[in-house]
Copies of this chain bind each other. A is one copy, B any other.
Amino acid sequence: MKIGFVGLGIMGLPMAQNLKKAGHDILAPERASLKPEARADFTILPDATAVAAAAEVIIIMVPDTPDVEAALFGAGGVAAGLSAGKVVIDMSSISPTATKDFAARVAAKGCGYLDAPVSGGEVGAKNAALTIMIGGSQADFDRALPLFQAMGKNITLVGDTGAGQTCKVANQIIVALNIEAVAEALVFASKAGADPAKVRQALMGGFANSRILEVHAERMINRTFNPGFRINLHQKDLNLALQAAKELGVALPNTASAQQLFSAVAAKGGAALDHSAMVQALETLAAHEIKAG
């Protein structure tokens, strides 16, 4: 199948390479930033309009909501090249509400639309082991399933348009709050004189266990805060959560608190550290000195 791929960055490039390995032809728009591997393996066309005109399915993998809007509807964008019967798959992590608007505008061209954000990071992208959370119609999902299977492992049609992005936001809420939970527990245990490595080991057998206790608690204990997943990206995702919560009339008190702790770490130069570095905000609070004047 001819697949257009817009956004060949840290995530997009290995995802497109896995589609290529599965036997598909990859078409990508010209960018000054294209990596040599992309130029060698993929067909480069002048812009995303030309890509959409030539491809059957067009995948978008860019950082944020305005980037998806530009990729779809900006000058030389995907929408101008669409004709009836094609499918657009947005695998970026963006606003659930904006997604419904984008899908409606694509549907007006007679095309399908799937929101299909991922988790699993660069390692998951390279190993074709991404978790993919999908919103859209069953028919579009069935058509795209072989492509998803070339890029990921845990593939779920969550619901209608926007449900994939909603699910990804829910994922990022839980990941942030589980990091915060482990951080509170380990700072508490350390200050009480216990060895946090032994505490982690003891807790892994019970109800406190989580992927975050397995992976991120170890990072906190070993002080290895190279990403991983950067705090500034998680801040973007929690902004999506808090903005959508405001629109929906939902209170997310601990998500708001975790966002503030991320902000405290980012403000001191930690924005590019792994999100497990959130623990440093709690450590700072536990270590600070108060002066009388």
Please list the residues of chain A having a beta carbon within 8 angstroms of any beta carbon in chain B.
96, 119-120, 131, 133, 135, 153-154, 156-160, 162-163, 166-167, 169-171, 173-178, 180-182, 184-189, 191-195, 198-199, 201-213, 215, 241, 244-245, 248-255, 257-258, 261, 282, 285-286
Contact = CB atoms under 8 A, between A and B. Distances in A.
Contact of A252 (B170, B184, B206): B184
Nearest to A153: B205
A281 to B, nearest CB: 9
Given A167-B202, A177-B177, 15 more contacts: A119-B206, A131-B205, A158-B199, A163-B194, A167-B189, A167-B199, A169-B192, A171-B185, A171-B203, A171-B206, A177-B181, A191-B249, A210-B212, A253-B257, A254-B258
Contact of A286 (B194, B208, B250, B257): B250
Given A153-B205, A154-B206, A201-B156, A181 B174 contact: yes
A208 to B, nearest CB: 4
Contacts of A135: 194
A65 B95 CA distance: 48
Contacts of A209: 210-211
A111 to B, nearest CB: 22
Contact of A174 (B131, B208, B244): B208
